[in-house]
Every structure is written in structure tokens, then in C-alpha cells.
């Protein structure tokens, strides 16, 4: 069994406006989630692939950590930039972007076995004021 594990992370300013701010704990939860998948698939047959989007009014999607020129690792999530004031939120657009990306990967015959799984986890406060 293979798994394509994807995450959509809310990096909008609203994530800093909670008491306490939600951005740091969200990054830790995402890191822990990815680390668990990574560790689990080290000990079982099959392969795990990882994809991530982080967003505010801009959707950032990359297969590689451009700061290190290698695939993302769980601890790299801690390096996502702090949200800036005034940035809007494209929650629904970011989620749609990831869904389309995963569909394209499946069409490319990546992980199409009967037991293979595609998973998308969305970490957000639920606010959206800029999708269209």
C-alpha cells in the first residue's frame, strides 16, 4: 500500500489573531502529522509521497524546500514564514488547488493500486475571504 499524503496549511494573518495565536501550534501539528506518516512508512512495505501548500492570498505549492534544494522534511514546516498583516485568506482556492494536483498525480499513474491512498489534511481556522 502506498500513500500520497498532502497538507494544506493556513498561513494567513487570521492565524495570528487568536488567543493564543494558532499559527505556531498549527505548524507543529502539521509537522507531527507528517513525521508520523514518514516514520510509519519507513517500517512498512510501500512508499509515501508528500505534497504541501501553504497559503494566505497567495497559494504556495512546491514539491521541494527551495531553501535547501531537497524534498520537504517534517522539520522544514517550522520554517514557514510568519503571516503578515493585511494578507487575505484563500482557503477554498488552496484546497481546490491541492485536490486538482492530486487528481493530476493519479492521472499520471502515481499510486493507482487498489490499496493505494490519497490523503489531504487541511490545517486552518476556517476563515476565507479571498477565494473566487
Domains in the chain, please, with CATH? Answer: 3-123 (3.40.50.410)
* Cα(50)–Cα(52) distance, integer angstroms: 7
What does the buried/exposed string (b/e) look like for 63-91 if buried means 16 or more CB atoms within 10 Å of the residue's CB? eeeeeeeeebebebbeebeebeeebbbbb
Q: What is the dihedral of CA 118, 38, 10, 115, to 10 degrees?
A: 10
* pLDDT bucket at 65, cuts 50 / 70 / 90: low
* pLDDT bucket at 68, cuts 50 / 70 / 90: low
Beta bridge partners of 65: 70
Beta bridge partners of 122: 8
- Cell numbers placing 130: 479571498
Q: Where are the alpha helices (DSSP H) in the chain?
A: 23-42, 91-107
What digits encode the pLDDT tens for the residues 30-53? 999 999 999 999 999 999 999 999
Amino acid at each position: 500500500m502506498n500513500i500520497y499524503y498532502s497538507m494544506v496549511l493556513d498561513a494567513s494573518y487570521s492565524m495570528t489573531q487568536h488567543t493564543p495565536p494558532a499559527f505556531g501550534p498549527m505548524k507543529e501539528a502539521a509537522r507531527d502529522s507528517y513525521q508520523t506518516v514518514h516514520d510509519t512508512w519507513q517500517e512498512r512495505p510501500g512508499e509515501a509521497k508528500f505534497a504541501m501548500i501553504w497559503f494566505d492570498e497567495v497559494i504556495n505549492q512546491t514539491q521541494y524546500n527551495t531553501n535547501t534544494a531537497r524534498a520537504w522534511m517534517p522539520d522544514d514546516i517550522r520554517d514557514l514564514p510568519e503571516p503578515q498583516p493585511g494578507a487575505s485568506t484563500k482557503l477554498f482556492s488552496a484546497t481546490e488547488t491541492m485536490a486538482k494536483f492530486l487528481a493530476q498525480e493519479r492521472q499520471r499513474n502515481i499510486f493507482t493500486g487498489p490499496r493505494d491512498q490519497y490523503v489531504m489534511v487541511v490545517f486552518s481556522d476556517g476563515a476565507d475571504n479571498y477565494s473566487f
